[in-house]
Amino acid sequence: MVMQDLLAIRERVEELRRQIEYHNYRYYVLDAPEISDAEYDQLMEELRRLEAEHPELQSPESPTQRVGAGPLEAFGIVEHRLPLLSLANAFSPEALRAWHARVARLIGERTLRYVLEPKIDGLAVSLTYEQGRLAVAATRGDGLHGENVTANVRTIRSVPLTLQGDPPPVVEVRGEVYLSRAAFERINAERAEAGQPLFANPRNAAAGSLRQLDPRITASRPLDIFFYQIGYAEGAVLPRSHWDCLDLLRAWGLRTNPENQLVEGIDAVIEAAVAWEHRRERLPYDIDGVVIKIDDRDLQAELGAVGREPRWAIAYKFAPTQATTRLLKIEVNIGRTGSVNPYAVLEPVSIGGVVVKLATLHNAQDVRRKDIREGDTVIVQRAGEVIPQVIGPVLSKRPPNTRPYELPTHCPSCGAPIEQPPGEAMAYCTNNPAGCRAQLFELLKHFASRPCLEIDGLGEKLAAALLDAGLVHDVADLYALTKEQLLRLDRMGDKSAENLLASIARSKQRPPARLLHGLGIRHVGGETAARLLDAFGSIDALSQATEAEIAAVEGVGPTIARSVRQWFDEPRNQTVLAKLRAAGLPLGPTATSGTGGQPLAGQAFVITGRLESMSRAEAEARLRALGATVSDTVSKKTTYLVVGAEPGSKLKKAQALGTPLLDEAGLLALLEAAEHGAPAASA
């Protein structure tokens, strides 16, 4: 080949590598791609072809080499040039103050600047770049020696193989390799499918993925990284401020956490750290605390370390969310639609200060998939407000003689056969609420609950009493109750009987969407009910619609449509509807013209932050049921921005636009008024 051609090809190869690395950076680090996946694939394809035709041009820095070479025999050992330190922990705001006091004793009391970084529970790695090229990547190991995982780290797309800008000739940077929650769940689902043991948490999954002798396996796992420290930098003067060092990392093309914060004074540190305990669930990855670092690196040097723990940094750790304990027994609950909900009876265990005795197992398919057995030691998770759940068994602790769990074949409440419809994860009692007390009990509670007919005073106890006394056989029977009947119930006085009857009477005025939701049709929640009524105008009209017509409604698929049609086709349900109509509930077209049933028609709501008295979904469903629209973005058309605790950026936008704000109390007042027929407040 002519020399000229080879030069041109070399140039083209280098150009392609530059372009591909640039697009990797846009995509994986900045999350802002400039070209389509197809265009990217074309560049890769051309580079692969040229490298195959000219093996002399191949290079370990080439983006084609990220997918990983063949398996390694074992990891080599890397000696860290500067030890990788660990962190002392603080489990309370008081412990943070005590840390501040210790620091103040050494350097004098003064107001410092601190950097707060979410503490991702992944694994620490150290990457050395020589002349801007990734030379070595190592795990933390014992802090002095780590394993050489270069081949694996190269497969992480957000790790640049060459640095941008003007890095020092030799620089060692540190960061945390992790898996998002979604990736973790996907990997575990695949492992469960393949009968492999599950990873207990994203940290173990990330460690298991990175410490793979076969880099091709690592390459198949969507590992990611955030860089948080410059370790060693040959012949370079680093900024005095850690915050500025993070900027420098970014300038070299290294991904830093956009959630990092710079704050002043220990009070602000505590406020921000505590706030993270609530914000953590909004992140796509698990964090187990926040790392707090004194920003001034001269002070860091002055403070030094005690053993392996620097005095200038501390980890504020959240209450733990997982624990292991013995699963004593698996029992089932029957839901209002007949769903069979398995749950675990546990040897009581304390998780983050709360004793957990019961945990949900989701559904039959999940128990089978994870092969959770009675007698197993299991990992239990309790996070935030959600019901504790069993993550999976610890197989190494499984005692002999356990047996795979079998769902009961018959409903423990009514004895009807249990069936799992093909393609559904849930199994169901084949009876209906009229014939299954467990279903009717759950249905009554649901019917009376706040998002539905909102009958004050009708909770667990009263629902059970009404069933025991044989006064109620379907939800419509509630409207035929008399004071005499109620007075015969245990602990029912004159006043409470009257109050109950009054709130039952009031419930007749709820908008039809809430009634439809309350009927307990499988797969019809508040939002679907509102959509169906928007489309058909009334429950009567809906009951006449064909399955295809129902399935055509936006956001309503064939599964919901089939379930709705089946419900209305059941003669017993027609009887219930007839009784409800006779009692005066709104089944037909609403009498008043136009927006009579839709007091908030034409009003546009946006919600930001956390509501205390109801979930956001519930608030949205109630607003929609009243005719309002609810969207995600504040615009000039927004009637109200509802502001909950810890509002997000929507609040700023609303303030800029002058959008009227509504706090939670205001929202409740407005909902109450609108649901009880008062004219809608206007902005």
Binding site for ligand IVH (CB under 6 A): 85-87, 117, 119-120, 124, 140, 176, 228-229, 291, 310, 313, 315
Q: How many Å apart are CA 564 and CA 129, to the nearest integer?
A: 62
For residue 115, the minimal CB distance to ligand IVH (Å) is: 9
Q: Which is nearer to ligand IVH, 62 or 201 (CB)?
A: 201
For residue 85, the minimal CB distance to ligand IVH (Å) is: 4
Q: How many CB atoms are located within 10 Å of the residue 209 CB?
A: 25
Contact in structure between 28 and 157 (CB atoms under 8 Å): yes
Q: How many Å apart are CA 239 and CA 295, to the nearest integer?
A: 11
Q: How many Å apart are CA 519 and CA 475, to the nearest integer?
A: 8
With CA atoms as reference, report the closest residue to 182 among 162, 212, 208, 202.
202
Q: Which is nearer to ligand IVH, 291 or 585 (CB)?
A: 291
Q: How many Å apart are CA 196 and CA 190, to the nearest integer?
A: 9
For residue 235, the minimal CB distance to ligand IVH (Å) is: 23
Contact in structure between 133 and 61 (CB atoms under 8 Å): yes
Classify strands 287-294 and 113-120 as parallel, antiparallel or unpaired: antiparallel
For residue 215, the minimal CB distance to ligand IVH (Å) is: 22
Contact in structure between 509 and 500 (CB atoms under 8 Å): no
For residue 229, the minimal CB distance to ligand IVH (Å) is: 6
Q: Which is nearer to ligand IVH, 117 or 371 (CB)?
A: 117
For residue 123, the minimal CB distance to ligand IVH (Å) is: 6
Q: Per the structure block, which two tokens stand in for 270? A: 């505590």
For residue 163, the minimal CB distance to ligand IVH (Å) is: 20
Q: Per the structure block, which two tokens stand in for 31? A: 């999350």
| CA-to-CA dists, residue 338 to 71, 442, 460, 547, angstroms | 51, 9, 18, 22
Q: Which is nearer to ligand IVH, 226 or 405 (CB)?
A: 226
> What's the first-to-final CA gap in the chain, in angstroms?
78
Q: Which is nearer to ligand IVH, 230 or 438 (CB)?
A: 230
Q: Which is nearer to ligand IVH, 66 or 140 (CB)?
A: 140
Active-site residues, by number, are: 119
Q: 223: buried, middle or exposed (CB in 10 Å: 19+, 13-18, 0-12)?
A: buried
CA–chain centroid gap for 85, Å, is 31
For residue 312, the minimal CB distance to ligand IVH (Å) is: 8
Angle at 579 between CA 577 and CA 582, to 5 degrees: 110
Q: How many CB atoms are located within 10 Å of the residue 383 CB?
A: 17
Say which amino acid occupies 181: R
For residue 317, the minimal CB distance to ligand IVH (Å) is: 9
Q: State the number of CA atoms in the 13 A half-sphere of 414 facing the CB.
A: 21
Q: 266: buried, middle or exposed (CB in 10 Å: 19+, 13-18, 0-12)?
A: buried
Taking each helix axis as running N to C, give the angle between helix 266-279 and helix 93-107, from 0 to 180 degrees, rounded to the nearest 10.
150
**Phi–psi pair at 211, nearest 5 degrees:** -90, 55
Q: Which is nearer to ligand IVH, 85 or 492 (CB)?
A: 85
Q: Which is nearer to ligand IVH, 85 or 233 (CB)?
A: 85
For residue 33, the minimal CB distance to ligand IVH (Å) is: 26
Q: How many Å apart are CA 605 and CA 628, to the nearest integer?
A: 7
R_g of the chain, CA atoms, integer Å: 31
DSSP string of 343-362? EEEEEEEEETTEEEEEEE--
Residues in contact with 562: Cβ distance below 8 Å, sequence separation at least 6, in sequence order: 547
Q: Which is nearer to ligand IVH, 140 or 510 (CB)?
A: 140
DSSP string of 466-490? HHHTT--SSGGGGGG--HHHHHTST
Q: Which is nearer to ligand IVH, 85 or 192 (CB)?
A: 85
Q: Helix, strand or coil for residue 149? A: coil
Q: Per the structure block, which two tokens stand in for 150? A: 């270069």
